[in-house]
Structure formats: structure tokens, C-alpha cells
């Protein structure tokens, strides 16, 4: 069964005019081809749409049911050119974005807010994932982009591009009541070195893991690793439970958890970096629009 938009347009005209002659005049055509088109539509649907007499034309129950649907279909068809234009320009469509938990306290909220403000018709699919999972998803083309912790592994550099978005210092997260940090704006690692360290597993974020251990090594200390956790909110939760201390990106201090105190470190620390990675061969217009926003910042 093939139904043409032209047939629906003619059907609506007859239904609204209740007269073949007036409908033909409205459509700038003669009555015979209009009648033939309506008959062809009825034959395709297998039901009469109009009850005809010599003096009047009225919709049948089937015709009355079809009328609002025919109007909706024509409206949708009329919107197709604009829909295609917006999709081609990146103004609409889908962006699949993954992010590490640390980005939720810094980059992610203002970035999403600004992008949605300028591109409200883009649907964003968000997924929290560790860097290793994001890299696999990117290489398998399951996501468009990922907010992750660098560096990219050598095997991925030939397929992925990367952009630095944020570089921030590490700070100390300590349980409330630790005497060494009370009434101090900044502390030395040696003041809390006897407490267990809560840290990301190395397999999840090697550079982050190594930079934390490097802070202790540069201070002449060997930390005692008490717990490992893959989510920043879990790490902070363990600190709150008095399970130990943690070194976290400065933006994590936005996570206000009872029983946790944040302090600057007087020790030298490597900057904690967050950036965006994406497939070099991804031709998505929406991704291109997203990258243009980031490059303007």
C-alpha cells in the first residue's frame, strides 16, 4: 500500500470544504483528477472516506479518524527540511558523552549548561565511567567523547584526539578531628603520613595513582595504602568514615561531606589534569559543534 502526501493533501482539502468543486478550486485544479485521487486513496486504504450524494459530501467514520492523522503527517513532512538542516549543522541530534567522577565537581555542570543553552535540541546521553572503560568505548566507537584523566595510551594515540580542559592542584581530604590539620589552612604530608591512604587503583588511572605516590616520595615518605576505590565520592565517603586520608583534585572540595575536611598542601604536587578525548574519524556534526564550544573557551 503506497500513500502519497499529495493524496493526503487533497483529502484534507475535500474534508475541510465538504465539497469537491470548492476543494478543486482551492487546490487550483479541475474536479475530475481530484475525485480520481480521492478514489485511489480510498482504494489503497480499503475503506470509503466520504459519503457522497449529488448535493453533499460528508466524512465517514473512517474519514473522520484519518483527518487529524493526515494533518499531523503533513506537518511532520513540512518540518523535514529544517530537521535535516539542523542535524547537518549540529544543532540537533545525539551526543554520547562519558565522564570520570572528578569531572562532576568541576567541568561537567557548567559545560553541559552552556552547551544546552546554545543547542537545546541536542539530546545528550551521559554515562559515568572510569578512564580505562572510556578508552575502550572510544576505540570501539560506542561513545562520541569522554571526559577523562590523561595521558592516552600509545596504542590509542593513532585513533584518538585529546584536548586539555582543566589543570588543578591536589589537596588533602582528611577525617574531621585529625589534630594535625585543625586550625590550619595548609598542611605538610608528613603531618598525616601515619594515616592509611585511600587511593584510585593504578589500573584505573595510572598517571593519577603515580602522581599521588610521587607526592609522598618527594616528601621522603612511604604511604600505607589502606583502601582503593574507583569513584571519587566513594573515596571521600571512606575519608568521612575515618578510614584514612586521600589526595584529591581541588575541585572535589565542592563535594561537601560531613566528617571531611579539605586542606591545601604545602608539598609540591603534580597538577591533576582532565581533558576530552574523541575518535579522530568521528564525523558527527553534533560532536563538531561540541568541540567548537570547547575551543572557544
Report pLDDT for 59.
92
Every domain range in the chain assigned CATH 3.40.190.10: 93-166+274-296, 170-270
CA atoms within 13 A on the CB side of 250: 12
Residues 6+ apart with CB under 8 A from 140: none
Model confidence pTM above 0.75: no
Return the beta strands (E) in 46-185 as ranges: 50-52, 57-59, 93-99, 122-128, 145-148, 160-168, 170-175
CATH number 3.40.140.10 is the correct assignment for the domain at 93-166+274-296: no
Measured torsion, CA atoms of residues 164, 211, 105, 193, in degrees rounded to the nearest 10: -160
Can you name the CATH fold of 170-270? Answer: D-Maltodextrin-Binding Protein; domain 2 (3.40.190)
Report pLDDT for 1.
67
Nearest alpha-carbon partner for 223 in 271, 263, 172, 260: 172
Report pLDDT for 90.
67
Report pLDDT for 56.
78
pLDDT, tens digit only, all 297 positions of the chain: 688 999 999 999 999 999 898 999 999 999 999 999 999 999 999 999 999 887 779 999 999 999 999 999 989 888 777 777 766 766 768 999 999 999 999 999 999 999 999 889 899 999 999 999 999 999 999 999 999 999 999 999 999 999 999 999 999 999 998 988 888 889 999 999 999 999 999 988 888 999 999 999 999 999 999 999 988 999 999 999 999 999 999 999 998 899 999 999 998 888 999 999 999 999 999 999 999 999 987
Report pLDDT for 38.
92
Every domain range in the chain assigned CATH 1.10.10.10: 5-89
Q: Taking the chain, what is the end-to-end CA distance rounded to the nearest angstrom? A: 53
CATH code of 5-89, in short, is 1.10.10.10
Amino acid at each position: 500500500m503506497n500513500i502519497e502526501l499529495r493524496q493526503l493533501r487533497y483529502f484534507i482539502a475535500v474534508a475541510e470544504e465538504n465539497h469537491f468543486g470548492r476543494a478543486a478550486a482551492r487546490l487550483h485544479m479541475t474536479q475530475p483528477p481530484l475525485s480520481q485521487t480521492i478514489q485511489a486513496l480510498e482504494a489503497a486504504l480499503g475503506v470509503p472516506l466520504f459519503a457522497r450524494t449529488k448535493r453533499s459530501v460528508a466524512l465517514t467514520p473512517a474519514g473522520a479518524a484519518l483527518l487529524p492523522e493526515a494533518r499531523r503527517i503533513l506537518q511532520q513532512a513540512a518540518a523535514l527540511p529544517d530537521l535535516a538542516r539542523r542535524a547537518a549543522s549540529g544543532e540537533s541530534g545525539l551526543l554520547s558523552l562519558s565522564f570520570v567522577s572528578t569531572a562532576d565537581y568541576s567541568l561537567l555542570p557548567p559545560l553541559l549548561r552552556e552547551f544546552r543553552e546554545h543547542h537545546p535540541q541536542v539530546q545528550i546521553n551521559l554515562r559515568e565511567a572510569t578512564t580505562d572503560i572510556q578508552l575502550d568505548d572510544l576505540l570501539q566507537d560506542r561513545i562520541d567523547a569522554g571526559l577523562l584523566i590523561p595521558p592516552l595510551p600509545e596504542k590509542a594515540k593513532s585513533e584518538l584526539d585529546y584536548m586539555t580542559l582543566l589543570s588543578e592542584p591536589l589537596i588533602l581530604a582528611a577525617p574531621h578531628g585529625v589534630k594535625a590539620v585543625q586550625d590550619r589552612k595548609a598542611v605538610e604530608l608528613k603531618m598525616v603520613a601515619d594515616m592509611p591512604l585511600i587511593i584510585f587503583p593504578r589500573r584505573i588511572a595510572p598517571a593519577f595513582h603515580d602522581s599521588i605516590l610521587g607526592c609522598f616520595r618527594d616528601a621522603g615518605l612511604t604511604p600505607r595504602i589502606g583502601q582503593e576505590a574507583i569513584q571519587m565520592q566513594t573515596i571521600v565517603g571512606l575519608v568521612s568514615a575515618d578510614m584514612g586520608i586521600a589526595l584529591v583534585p581541588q575541585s572535589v572540595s565542592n563535594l561537601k561531606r560531613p566528617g571531611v575536611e579539605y586542606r591545601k598542601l604545602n608539598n609540591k604536587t603534580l597538577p591533576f589534569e582532565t581533558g576530552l578525548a574523541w575518535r579522530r574519524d568521528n564525523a558527527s556534526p553534533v560532536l563538531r559543534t561540541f568541540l567548537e564550544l570547547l575551543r572557544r573557551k
